[in-house]
Chains A and B, each alone.
Chain A
């Protein structure tokens, strides 16, 4: 499998604060990879780095065979990276439809966009019902669906999702995870996603990385991680026994 995305020895700082400490991470074409880690371990920072929202101090980021370490966010999005940002970040005073169209900003094929819009409404009927509602007044979970659908609108090669299931009802969590698997299978889109519920994450990912205080401390296939006693201790914890 060729690497679609490759981070090599990446260091990132917020002012003096060393947020990522030499991380190496890859996502293959058509692969689902999950990123785990406790609070404030640098998961969101990794996502922002991939999207080019934060400058890399040293190390490199490659995407689809191209070195994008210093490329703009726009360039990366055009090259095929889409994002579901942390805390949703829908455009609050724009309608549901306008938010979806904003997701397709880099595309030029009007017909394709219209088709995709229709498909999103099918997959997330709530978004179809609320076309003209301002996104800021949607419920938390509805906004999360919108953020997810908006990312799909750009027909990306890789989607980076920062906690796509946060605030979703259990049934919808399953639906979103199924959807991730489906777009991965049907469209061959690679997915890198942050998920707090490690067990759920590893149930659909083929591989995973574990971050702690800015460093990747573990990585392996989902099976390996699930069997790893450290992971069971830290992330699956008592929750599975309770």
Chain B
């Protein structure tokens, strides 16, 4: 494996003349946790949307493990191994927690998705579709075996958030509280066994102790060697979990480096942290 997992070069995206992302370059190494911070509207979410193919770039390149992905759609990128969560939370509201996670497993399945290589081709994509339909109605021995694996994988992901999601596993996602929806979404993303996990403000709407809970989970993932690209405003979490921090402002990268260095960078203090938090160390002095 190369020592660069994700490579972004000169990435650009504008909206009616507004340069939301203005030629940024960065990399994420395997097993590395990189955070993007920056003032509101600095282009963080847009960057994540570009990396995951949710919207198209207007310039630049994105490479995952040596493969160019900037022209691929987001389903293909997911298959390549990037899973994500969304800033406002996008769970499948009418599905249960367990089913949400099962959908996350989709691209890792073999027996349930025969001929899946054809699924992107005109007309030929009906072959895998009809194959999937056959397996749904009749099934094959292999698909029945895989069914057990699916159930086991879903249990593993629920187990990660056992105290929170365990009791709700069969409840529809719309009935969950805000924080539980976020957890479901993270579990769904992890189910894909991604090479790179992309998280957009995973702890928004959680209080300190719940944030700490998520922090511990992120540290656990990091220890397992999971590469993560994280956008988050909660500095304690960012400082603790990140190997490297990228600071954006106005669509550009204004600073980049290890957490301690970024925290002292005067440009970052000016644009993002504010005087109260800059040098002090505590979250709120």
A interface residues (Cβ-Cβ under 8 A, vs B): 36, 38-40, 86-87, 126, 137-142, 144-145, 163, 166-175, 196-200, 203, 234-240, 242
User: Which residues does chain B contribute within 8 Å of A36, judged by CB atoms?
Assistant: 207
Contact B40 A239 (CB under 8 A): no
Contact B205 A197 (CB under 8 A): no
Contact A140 B201 (CB under 8 A): yes
User: Complex formed: what's the CA distance from A36 to B38 in Å?
Assistant: 27
Chain A-chain B contacts (Cβ-Cβ < 8 Å), number: 108
Contact B15 A137 (CB under 8 A): yes
For residue B165, give the distance in angstroms from its CB to the closest CB of chain A.
Answer: 13
Contact B208 A139 (CB under 8 A): no
User: Which residues does chain A contribute within 8 Å of B177, judged by CB atoms?
Assistant: 39-40
Q: Is B162 an interface residue (CB 8 A)?
A: no
User: Complex formed: what's the CA distance from A142 to B44 in Å?
Assistant: 13
Contact B207 A235 (CB under 8 A): yes
Contact A170 B40 (CB under 8 A): no
Residue of A nearest to B164 (CB): A39
User: Which residues does chain A contribute within 8 Å of B210, judged by CB atoms?
Assistant: 38-39
Q: Is B284 an interface residue (CB 8 A)?
A: yes
Contact B273 A170 (CB under 8 A): yes
User: Which residues does chain A contribute within 8 Å of B38, judged by CB atoms?
Assistant: 169
User: Which residues does chain B contribute within 8 Å of A234, judged by CB atoms?
Assistant: 209
For residue B135, give the distance in angstroms from its CB to the closest CB of chain A.
Answer: 39
B interface residues (Cβ-Cβ under 8 A, vs A): 15, 37-41, 45, 87-88, 177-180, 201, 204-212, 215, 233, 235-236, 240, 271-274, 276-277, 282-284
User: Complex formed: what's the CA distance from A145 to B88 in Å?
Assistant: 16
Q: A39-B178, A198-B207, A237-B209 are in contact. Are A171 and B272 (CB under 8 A)?
A: yes
Contact A170 B274 (CB under 8 A): yes
Contact A168 B233 (CB under 8 A): yes
Q: Can you list 9 A-B contacts with CB-CB less than 8 angstroms, sorted by A residue number? A: A36-B207, A40-B180, A163-B205, A168-B233, A169-B37, A169-B39, A171-B274, A235-B209, A236-B208
Q: A137-B15, A140-B201, A237-B208 are in contact. Are A171 and B273 (CB under 8 A)?
A: yes
Q: Among B87, B205, B283, point to the contact of A196 (Cβ < 8 A).
A: B205
Q: Among A138, A173, A174, A236, point to the contact of B41 (Cβ < 8 A).
A: A138
For residue B154, give the distance in angstroms from its CB to the closest CB of chain A.
Answer: 23
User: Complex formed: what's the CA distance from A196 to B213 in Å?
Assistant: 14
- In the A-B complex, the 3 residue pairs with the smallest Cβ-Cβ separation, listed nearest first, are A141-B40, A171-B274, A40-B177
User: Complex formed: what's the CA distance from A144 to B87 in Å?
Assistant: 13
For residue B201, give the distance in angstroms from its CB to the closest CB of chain A.
Answer: 6
| Residue from A138, A163, A169, A240 having most chain B Cβ neighbours under 10 A | A169
Contact B273 A167 (CB under 8 A): no
Residue of B nearest to A234 (CB): B209
Q: Among A145, A167, A175, A239, point to the contact of B209 (Cβ < 8 A).
A: A239
Q: A138-B41, A239-B236 are in contact. Are A199 and B284 (CB under 8 A)?
A: yes
Contact B206 A39 (CB under 8 A): yes
User: Complex formed: what's the CA distance from A189 to B112 in Å?
Assistant: 60
For residue A195, give the distance in angstroms from its CB to the closest CB of chain B.
Answer: 9
Contact A235 B274 (CB under 8 A): no
For residue B200, give the distance in angstroms from its CB to the closest CB of chain A.
Answer: 9
User: Which residues does chain A contribute within 8 Å of B240, judged by CB atoms?
Assistant: 242
Contact A239 B284 (CB under 8 A): no
User: Which residues does chain A contribute within 8 Å of B209, judged by CB atoms?
Assistant: 38, 234-235, 237-239
Residue of A nearest to B182 (CB): A39
| Extra 15 A-B pairs, beta carbons < 8 Å, given A39-B177, A169-B37, A199-B208 | A140-B201, A141-B39, A144-B40, A145-B40, A167-B87, A169-B40, A169-B233, A170-B233, A170-B272, A172-B40, A173-B233, A174-B276, A203-B284, A239-B283, A240-B208
